[in-house]
């Protein structure tokens, strides 16, 4: 199974600042993922021609499930997170990760009924301050809606803004999550045209085998957004392997 996690920067190029959503679609198309987790997806905003980007993505990729979370509200519309899945959701939740007066943030929590079995997926976009991010992870991992899926293998992905790579050794470690995107030097994703920061990360817990993980670095990906996408190929372990 293939998962793609991508901060699309509203479809605006990281260097040329041009709005061309077709470039983002092309980058995703190149990777042919089964599950797409996006961040900074606009809906009804002037800078992106008042496009309904969640619908454009859902219509183009024509997957079984689509779930949009509007986090940041603007004068008209706003932006947030989007999950598209080739397979059905058994459950879906959206929670706020907004900390006091800081910018609105959120996490999507779904249970996916994949051909290899059910697993829990979290898609999020974390805050800019380190203390804020650690609060957000603790809030997420102890939230009753997240804990509903504790019996399932779990994948957590998104734009963490974790420049100093401190999250893995904090609450993630306490809750027995392993970081997929290690060592950081192999997974630099920001800024796209000359990446130095490992901001887009993935964490797993339970009966999951990571076959391959990488940052997509095509010419188109370097132009389409200010982030590069993270691509993860994985399997759920068979019942025999879990025992």
Q: Is the pLDDT of residue 199 over 80?
A: yes
* Cβ within 8 Å of residue 209, ≥6 positions away: 234, 235, 236, 237
Mean pLDDT of 134-162: 98
Token pair 């010419």 is found at 219
pLDDT at 25: 98
**pLDDT tens digits for range 22-44:** 999 999 999 999 999 999 999 99
115-131: buried (b, 16+ CB within 10 Å) or exposed (e) per residue?
Answer: eebbbbbbbbbbbeebe
Q: Is the pLDDT of residue 161 over 60?
A: yes
User: Residue 134: enclosing H or E segment and its boundaries?
Assistant: helix 130-141
Q: What angle do CA 70, 72, 78 make, to 5 degrees?
A: 70
Cis before 179 (ω within 30):
no
Instruction: Kindly indicate the confidence band of residue 238, based on its pLDDT and cuts at 50, 70 and 90.
Output: confident
Mean pLDDT of 46-73: 98
User: Residue 141: enclosing H or E segment and its boundaries?
Assistant: helix 130-141
pTM, 2 dp: 0.97
pLDDT at 243: 46
Q: Is the pLDDT of residue 240 over 70?
A: no
CA distance linking residue 9 with residue 226, whole number of Å: 6
CA distance linking residue 116 with residue 89, whole number of Å: 14
Mean pLDDT of 200-216: 98
Average model confidence (pLDDT) for the chain? 97
Where on the phi/psi map is residue 65: left (φ > 0), alpha (ψ -120 to 50), or beta?
Answer: beta
Return the structure tokens found at 146: 């997240």
């Amino acid at each position: 199974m293939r998962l793609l996690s991508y901060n699309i920067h509203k479809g605006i190029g990281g260097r040329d600042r041009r709005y061309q959503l077709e470039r983002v679609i092309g980058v995703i198309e190149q990777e042919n993922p089964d599950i797409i987790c996006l961040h900074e997806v606009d809906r009804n905003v002037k800078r992106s021609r008042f496009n309904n980007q969640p619908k454009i993505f859902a219509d183009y990729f024509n997957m079984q499930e689509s779930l949009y979370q509007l986090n940041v509200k603007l004068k008209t519309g706003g932006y947030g997170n989007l999950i598209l899945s080739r397979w059905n959701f058994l459950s879906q939740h959206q929670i706020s990760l907004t900390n006091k007066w800081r910018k609105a943030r959120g996490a999507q929590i779904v249970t996916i009924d994949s051909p290899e079995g059910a697993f829990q997926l979290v898609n999020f976009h974390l805050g800019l301050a380190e203390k804020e991010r650690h609060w957000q992870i603790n809030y997420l991992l102890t939230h009753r809606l997240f804990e509903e899926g504790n019996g399932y293998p779990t994948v957590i992905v998104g734009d963490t803004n974790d420049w100093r790579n401190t999250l893995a050794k904090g609450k993630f470690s306490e809750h027995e999550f392993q970081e997929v995107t290690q060592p950081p030097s192999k997974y630099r994703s920001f800024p796209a045209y000359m990446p130095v920061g490992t901001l887009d990360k993935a964490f797993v817990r339970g009966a999951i085998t990571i076959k391959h993980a990488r940052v997509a670095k095509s010419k188109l990906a370097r132009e389409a957004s200010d982030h590069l996408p993270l691509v993860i190929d994985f399997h759920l372990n068979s019942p025999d392997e879990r025992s």
